[in-house]
Structure 1
Amino acid sequence: MRTPSISSWAFDAPVRSPFAMPTGLPGRLAGWLMLRLNDPRELLGLLDVREGDHVCEVGCGPGALIRALDQQTRAQTIRGLDPSADMLAMASRHNAAAVASGRVLLGLGTADRTGQADQSFDRVVSVNNVAMWPDLDAGLRELHRILRPGGVLLIAWHGGTAPSAIARRNSLPPRKLDRIHHALERLFSLVERRELTKITAFTAQRRS
Structure 2
Amino acid sequence: MAKKESGGGGVALVAAVLVVLAGAGGAGGAALNSGAGGAGGAAPVESIGVRKWDAKRSARGGDVEGAVAHLGARITKQAVKQELDCHANSFGRVRDFFAHTPCTSLDRLLLAVGDGAGGEAVVSVAWVTFPGRRQARQFEDVVDVHGSGDVRPLSTTVLGMADIPFTAVHYWSETVDTTITIAESEPAGGTPDPELVDALAEVAAQLPRP
TM-score normalised by the chain length of structure 2 = 0.24
TM-score normalised by the chain length of structure 1 = 0.24
Structure showing greater relative contact order (alpha-carbon pairs closer than 8 Å, 6 or more residues apart): 2
Task: Report the structure, 1 or 2, having the larger helix content.
Answer: 1
